[in-house]
Structure 1
Amino acid sequence: MVVDNVLLKPAVVGHFGDRASYVSKLREHWDETNSKVMQRKTELDAMLADSQRYEAKRQEVDTWISRMEARLARMAPVGNTADVLEAQIKEQKTFHAELHQYKHHMDVFSQLTQKLIAVYLQDDTTKVKKTTELINQRYNDLNTSIINRGKCLHSAINSLHNFDRSLEKFLAWLSEVESNLEAVEAESEPEGKPSLQLKDD
């Protein structure tokens, strides 16, 4: 081999050849490593964006559920008069409707969770999963509690109506008894019996 008009020995040529091969392999390894690093960076950037969306939704849902839990805790015990019960039933229906309307946000939150778990299998998403399960449980507990309250309220109003009907029947029966007694008393008095008059002193 001739380099700059200098004839190189075969051993020297082999030395250059080995170095060139080494550099080539090193470059290939670098390119491969760099590609993996860039790919991982892209994954982490995407994961960060997804995590930020998840966290924003988590805070939103957590705040809303906390507010609803406080509202439920402030609800007065089941009343015992018609006007109070009717107001409480209206309150219960409004609360339940709000829960139902918010279900869409709960679904979005669950979808964000499932995406993190499914896409980032190589990363630890245990905390995300547990957090979502806890929030879903709180939402379900709210739903169960307000449904049970509705049942108690309707049971109370039905009992009150039954009591009112029983009272009406009792009063009607009592009125009938009084009328019958008056009729019996009237029939038992002899006809033409002079009325008792008090003499003046």
Structure 2
Amino acid sequence: FVSLISRKSWMLESSLRTLLSRIAHTEDSLRLYSNADERKLRGVLYLCRPTLGSVLERKEKREMGRENARRTVASLREEWDRSEAATSQRRRQLEGLASDSGRSLDDRRRELEAWLARMEARLDRQGVAGPGHSLEALEAQLREQRAAVDSVTRLAHKAASEPRANAMTVPMQEDSARLVAAVENINQRFADLSLNVQSRGQALQSALSSLQQMEKALDRFLVWLADSEATLDVLETEADRYGPRDD
């Protein structure tokens, strides 16, 4: 019976040794497999590193390309808006010129001469600007002067654009000599009018400056006069206090 127990103990111990050996072998196998997998993974990562770098580089380039494309689209949109605004303005100008192209040269000449006559009469009525006018009168004349300058500028722009727009509509039977004489007369009157307007503007500015300087001098004189009156009041008070001198 004892020998039977000893045999069973030996068999159990042997089985335990075998099981422990298998467990150790399994752990070694797992360790080898894990090391192999790790080396394999590192190898794959090493091989894929250039590919991953190129992928990231392409991604950055695509993002930069999108940003450049957005900026280009925004710039093109702004340029389109400016071009559309300029085109609309030019179309309105051409429509206005086209509606005016039906008139003859005599009609336009009479219109210019009538405008020149009105402006010349207006300058004659305003008279000569000088320092004898009040500040309100000079300011009113300056406002009229600015209106005259604006009117002359508008007519100059219109006169510069009309010949090009109406060059194809001028009838060939017009008397060229008469037209040249009329144009020269209008140009001379316009030049004289522009010179008179400019001279009058300079005279108004000079008169306004002189009036402002005169007002400043008058203010200084009034201050001096007030100081003098105060000094005289003090002297009169002192004279009344001490009475007349015996000598």
Q: What TM bracket, shorter-length normalisation?
A: 0.5 to 0.7
Paired position in structure 2 for 1:176: 227
Residues 12-71 of structure 1: CA distance to partner in whole angstroms, max 9, x if unpaired?
Answer: xxxxxxxxxxxxxxxxxxxxxxxxxxxxxxxxxxxxxx9x74333222222222222222
Cα deviation, residue 104, structure 1:
2.3
Distance 2:135 2:200 in 1: 16
Answer yes or no: is 1:153 the counterpart of 2:182: no
**Cα 1:130/1:109, change in 2 over 3 Å:** farther
| One of 73, 76, 99 as aligned partner of 2:127 | 76
Q: Using structure 2 for the length normalisation, give the TM-score.
A: 0.47
Cα deviation, residue 132, structure 1:
0.9
Distance 1:156 1:188 in 2: 47
Residues 133-180 of structure 1: CA distance to partner in whole angstroms, max 9, x if unpaired?
Answer: 210111111111111111111211211111111111011112112223
Q: Which has the higher helix share?
A: 2
Q: Which runs of 5+ in 1 are unaligned?
A: 1-49, 195-201
Answer yes or no: is 1:103 the counterpart of 2:156: yes
Alpha carbon RMSD of aligned pairs, Å? 3.4
**Cα 1:143/1:115, change in 2 over 3 Å:** farther
Paired position in structure 2 for 1:85: 138
Q: Which runs of 5+ in 2 are unaligned?
A: 1-100
Contact 1:89 1:153 (8 Å CA) reproduced: yes
**Cα 1:92/1:151, change in 2 over 3 Å:** same
Distance 1:137 1:182 in 2: 66
Distance 2:167 2:218 in 1: 58
SS at match of 1:73: helix
Cα deviation, residue 97, structure 1:
0.9
| One of 58, 78, 90 as aligned partner of 2:109 | 58
Q: Any runs of at least 4 consecutive aligned residues in structure 1 with deviations exceeding 6 A, and if so which?
A: 112-117
The higher radius of gyration belongs to 2
Contact 1:61 1:105 (8 Å CA) reproduced: no
% identity of equivalent residues:
30
Paired position in structure 2 for 1:137: 188
